Structures are given as C-alpha cells and as structure tokens.
Structure 1
Amino acid sequence: MTVQKLSTTRSILRFEGADRIAYWRRFAMLLALSVIIATMGMLRNSGAVVIAAMLVAPLMTPILGIAAAIVMGWLKRAFMLTLTVGVAAIACVLMALVLVNVADVPRGIVLPAQITARTDPGTEDLIVALAAGVAGAYVQINRAELSLLPGAAIGVSLVPPLSACGILLYFGEPADAYEAGLLFATNLGAIILSACLVYVVYAARFVVFGKGRRKLGFTTGMVITLAFLTLVFLQLGRSTYNRYLETSTEAQVAGAIRAWANPYSVEIARVDVNAKRKRVEVWLIVDLPIEAQYKISSIVNLLPEQLRETSLVDVLQQELGDGYLAVIRYQTRIGAQVILGTQNVQQAPDIESLTEDN
C-alpha cells in the first residue's frame, strides 16, 4: 500500500516532515484552546461549550495515526505517536489544573454535572468509543465524507475527560480524577482498535496476509492494543457492576425512607450511594404540621412524633449495615392547602398523591 492510498499516513509523516515545526505549533495551539474551552465549559456546566472543545481538539489525528502505523507495521512510529498522545494528555491535565488555580475557583462548591459526568465510565463508553473510532477512520479513508468528521469528534470524548481530571485534582478528588482518566484511556484504546480494523478492511489487507517485518509489527501492535483494552475493560466492568449495585441499593434506601415516613409527606430529593467508598448521601424535604409555624423550637422537636420514634439513622443502618458514612440533609417546609377566598387552611396532601392525581 502506498502512502497516497491512506490519508492518515500523510498525517503521520507531517509529524516528521520538513514542516513538522509548523505542524507541531498548530497542534499545540489547538490543544491548548481545546483545554481552555473544555475547562471553562465544565466549570460553567455548559454542554454546548464542552462540545465546542471536542470539535477543536486535535488529538484524533495522532490517535488515528497510531492505528495506521500499527497496520503498516511501523512500530517505531506507532510508539512515537503513542508517546506524543501520552505527553499531550499529561499536558492537558496540568493545564486544566493551572487554569482552575488561576481562576481561583472556590473548592467548597458542588461540582457541576459536566464534571461528574466524566467520573463514572462504563462498558457503554467503550462501545461508543469503538463506534466513534470506526467513524473517524472511515472519514479519513473516504475524504468525500468529511462532513461526518464533526459528528465523530463529538461522539468520542478526548480532551474533556483530561480537563475534568485536572479540575478534580484541584478539588481534592483523586479517585474521581482517576475515573476521568480511565474514560480517556477507554476512548484511546477503543479508537485505536476499531480504526485498525477499518484500515485493514479498506486498505491494508496485504499486511495481515503477507509476510515479513510489517506483518510482525502489525501483530505486535494489535497484541499490545488488545492487552491494553483488556485491562481497561476489566476496570470498566467493575465500575458498571458497582453502578448497578448502587442503583439497586438507592432504590431500596428510598423505599425504606418512604416506609419510615408513612403516612407523613417526605420528598426524597436525592439518594446517592457510593459502594466503593461505603458512603450514602440523603436529601429530604419534610412537610411539617401546619401549626409548626407558630412554634419556636428545634427541627427535631418540630418533626411528627412518629418520625422521632425511630430515627432515620437506624433505618439506614438496617438497609446498609455498619461502616457506611451517612450524610443526611433535612430541609423542612410548612405544608398547607388553602381554599382561596376562605379562611380554610388545612395540612397539605402528600407529594406522591398529588403526582398520582395529575
């Protein structure tokens, strides 16, 4: 196969050619812009801004280059491009860390959803990355389909997980930062594998079925890629299983809380179980009796007597067992219903009964 038959090979040679300095300069500039956009977008919790960072990010080119180099049997080039991607990834994390330090983001705030969304990778992320790798490699081969390239860039997340990693390190969350890094590793390995398969099917079958150093280089590269993806998959499988356990446990805890509160109205705003850390976080909104507005007392004394007989801590301990750190936030409110134009004020009905009626 000649270089002209596979456009990605030309991208590989740009890192080495006579104009490599200009190419490296463009690569570094786009990478820095992508990190800035992704970091600021996640801090502002703006999905549109994060998508813009995905479109600007130049990492797809060297990653597809790794796949092309493996297919061509160029192990040295594949290693150098892998090193390039690794250094670029570390630079992205450090740049995001510096950005949030310069912005002096308060560490006590609740992390935006755009950041936490990158801390829970699962096997579905691996499937998405495999599909995005196929799309990216297909577009590289079929230049007439360039209009599909933005979709492939959006489909897989490369720079945002790295920016999230830097932000999480700033917030003192190394475990979540590791999960964000795992998401990047998942995307990296999956894109390389799926792109290799596309290149072999479309343009490089002679390497697989041929003999000599190129075939040996191809085989070695594929074995390393599959070994890397196997390690990633084991991590993702464990995360997916933990997520399943956490979801089922959250449903059990929510049911136990409703049973504990019955017949009084308690709205469960949030139940968040972290099985790995053995931590559960519960946010409740309790409707107080209407006469509570005329009393001055502690929140505990304002609760209905039935809710004081058995503490919520005891209910959580029965469901989860010993060893969990439970964070419980009560938000009280006065629940009343009024017939407008009259003085008829009564206790408000239960939230769930209102939802069912509607």
Structure 2
Amino acid sequence: MVVRKLSTTRSILLFEGADKAAYWRRFAMLLTLSVVIATMGLLRNSGAVVIAAMLVAPLMTPILGVAAAMVMGWLKRAVTLALTVCLAAIVCVMMAWFLVYVADVPRGILIPDQVLARTDPGTEDLIVALAAGVAGAYVQINKSELSLLPGAAIGVSLVPPLSASGILLYFDEPAEAYEAGLLFATNLGAIILSACAVYLVYAARSVVFSKGKRKLNFTASVFVAIAFLVVVVLQLGKSTYNRYLETRTEAQLADAIRAWAYPVSVEIIRIDVNAQRKRAEVWLVVDLPAEAQFKVSSIAGLLPPKLRETPLVGVLEEELGPGYLAIIRYQPRIGAQIILGTENVQQAPDVTEITEDE
C-alpha cells in the first residue's frame, strides 16, 4: 500500500483554507439550511427530504479535521474543532426546537415515524458510523473518489438526530430526545476513530510512531476518544438489549392475546412495549357476531362470551408483570361472511386465516 505524503493529511487538517472567516460563514449557512430541511422533513415524515438534509450538512468536514489533528499530534487543534462540533450540535438542537415552536405544531399529535426512527440507536448504528467514517476519510485522501462522498454522507446521520432531539424536546419527550442525541454521539465517536485509522494507514504513520510530544498527544487524544466511545457503546448495548427484550415481549404478548381471544377473530393493529419506561400500548379490532348489529346493548354486552370470561387486563398483567402502564385501544366491528345471492350469513373467518389463504 502506498504511503501518502504528510501534506495530504495537513490539507485535511487545515480544511478552512486561507480565509477561515469565509469558511465558517459558509459552514453556518449550510448548517442552518440543513437543520431547516431536516426538521421540516421529519415533521412531514418524508425520508427523501431528510436525505436531502444529510447531503447539505457540513459537519463531516470538521469531524474529519478532528481525526486529522489527532493523528498529527496537534492536540489544541483537535480540542478546538471538537468543541466547535459540539457547540454546532447544541445550536442545531435549539434551532430545531425553535422551528417547531414557530410553526406552532400542536403537542397533542402523534410524533412522526421519521422522528421516532432516530430514537432507537443500537450497535448496528455504530457499525454503520465506523464504515461511513472510513469512507469519508478515504474520499478525503483519494480526491478521484469524490463520487463516493454523497454515499458516505447518507450512510451516517449527523443533523437529522439533532433535529429529532429538538423536536422531541418540544413534544416534552426528554428521554426520547436523549436517545436521538445518543445516535449523534455514536456517529461522532465512530467517525473520528475510524478516520484516524485510515489516516494512519495512508498518510501519517511516521509522525505518530515517532518519538516526542506528537506521539504523546496522539496517544492521549485516542485514549479520550476510545473512552468516549466506550461510554457510548455501553449505552448502545443497553438500548440494544432493551430493544431485543421489547421485541420478544411484543411477540409473546401477541400470541397471548390470540390465545385469549380464540376462537373470536381479533386483529392486532399495534403492540408497542417500552421496557425502560414500563409502558405498553395495545390496539385491537374485535369482530362482533353478525347478529350484533340487530341488538341494542352496550359494547360489553355485544362482545362474545369468550372475551368476557377473562379480562384482557389479566392477560397483559400475566405477560408484562405488575407496574406497567397499559394503554388499550380496541374497536368493535361487525364480522360476517355472506354467500351472495342467498340468505346464508355466517360468522366471518379469523383475520389471520384470510391472510394465510392469500
């Protein structure tokens, strides 16, 4: 493998060029535009608009500058750029909150899926960020591969999690906002470490492994970066375990509800379990007998006897345990099966049976 000249790494380190003020003005403008695009895209639940925000976001360059400064042993430069990135991240969160506040989005509406998608980071996000950091650093060194840069920008999510955090703070969801911020922190730490590895391989081994202050500065900065990433990984491990626990619990809960309702047809619209907050949400549609439409009675009186024998609350408590906040939404509907041209009216088959036949 060809070892690049140190000037390559220096050019990445001094990315602002001769006019630093002009660069940072452009940086502020692009960052503002990216936050506006990301926030509106998240509120509109539009993935395409969110991707556009990723392409506009200018955060990748100073983050790679942090890695280059670490490799060159320029500790002061690395700390300055790292603080700049952190300050920019805080400003992004505040801008997103302000945009939602100005738009006067009602707090009672359901939070869009694109926002919630940024609140469930896991170890797979760490792997994606590591790969994106390698790609971004590789493109910085190999200018002939600039066509790969948009892919690296899309692969790692920097501004959208910050916008999601601001939106969630507006919706009074601090725990979810923290998770979105954790996704940004994961991307930040992983990009810096993976970019350091690329710069070492391609450009600056002679500097890092030489004796003196630079080697000490590099060692200290990498130690801090690894410690930061370890803290993030511990949080991700907890989130990943909670997600696994929630997915397994949701599957078991769905099976228990079907067993509780059998032979009555019950369509499960949604089951959402949050193990950390000890909260479960269940949405069901219950098929009433065809003759229920001719009866005047309460909803409970129209239910099939099977569903009145054991309350659904008992099934939920058996699966989840005491202490959970359970939100149950169910809607009754008339279920009938008719042979057209005749008066043969029967109970509709179970929803799952129809799906399997199709």
After the TM superposition, which residues 176-325 of structure 1 pair with which residues of structure 2 at under 5 Å, given as runs? 176-325=176-325
1:64 alignment partner in structure 2:
64
Give the partner amino acid of 1:123: T
2:82 alignment partner in structure 1:
82
After the TM superposition, which residues 332-343 of structure 1 pair with which residues of structure 2 at under 5 Å, given as runs? 332-343=332-343
Structure 1, gaps ≥5 residues long: none
Quick check: 1:207–1:218 contact (8 Å CA) kept in 2? no
Aligned to 1:118, the other structure's residue is in SS state helix
RMSD: 1.2
Determine the C-alpha separation between the residues in 2 that align with 1:72 and 1:333.
69
The count of aligned residue pairs is 355
Greater mean alpha carbon deviation, residues 80-89 or residues 286-295: 286-295
1:5 alignment partner in structure 2:
8
Quick check: 2:57–2:159 contact (8 Å CA) kept in 1? yes
Quick check: 2:15–2:65 contact (8 Å CA) kept in 1? no
Determine the C-alpha separation between the residues in 1 that align with 2:69 and 2:252.
51
Determine the C-alpha separation between the residues in 1 that align with 2:150 and 2:309.
59
Determine the C-alpha separation between the residues in 1 that align with 2:260 and 2:246.
21
Give the partner amino acid of 1:291: E
1:39 alignment partner in structure 2:
39
Determine the C-alpha separation between the residues in 1 that align with 2:206 and 2:292.
81
Structure 2, gaps ≥5 residues long: none
1:306-353 C-alpha deviation (Å, 9 max, x unpaired)? 101110001111111110000000011111122223332221111111
Give the partner amino acid of 1:209: F
1:86-119 C-alpha deviation (Å, 9 max, x unpaired)? 1100000000000000111111111111000000
Post-superposition offset of 1:45: 0.5
Aligned to 1:281, the other structure's residue is in SS state strand
Post-superposition offset of 1:14: 4.5
1:132 alignment partner in structure 2:
132
Quick check: 1:278–1:324 contact (8 Å CA) kept in 2? yes
Which runs of at least 4 in structure 1 moved beyond 4 Å after TM superposition?
none
Post-superposition offset of 1:4: 3.1
Post-superposition offset of 1:218: 0.8
Determine the C-alpha separation between the residues in 2 that align with 1:147 and 1:139.
8
Post-superposition offset of 1:267: 0.7
Taking structure 1 as the reference length, what is the TM-score of the superposition? 0.97
1:55 alignment partner in structure 2:
55
1:211-262 C-alpha deviation (Å, 9 max, x unpaired)? 1111111111100000000000000001101111111111111111011000
Taking structure 2 as the reference length, what is the TM-score of the superposition? 0.97
Post-superposition offset of 1:61: 0.3
Quick check: 1:189–1:228 contact (8 Å CA) kept in 2? yes
Determine the C-alpha separation between the residues in 1 that align with 2:13 and 2:29.
18
Quick check: 2:12–2:64 contact (8 Å CA) kept in 1? no
Greater mean alpha carbon deviation, residues 331-340 or residues 71-80: 331-340
The share of aligned pairs that are identical, in percent, is 75
Determine the C-alpha separation between the residues in 1 that align with 2:353 and 2:11.
65
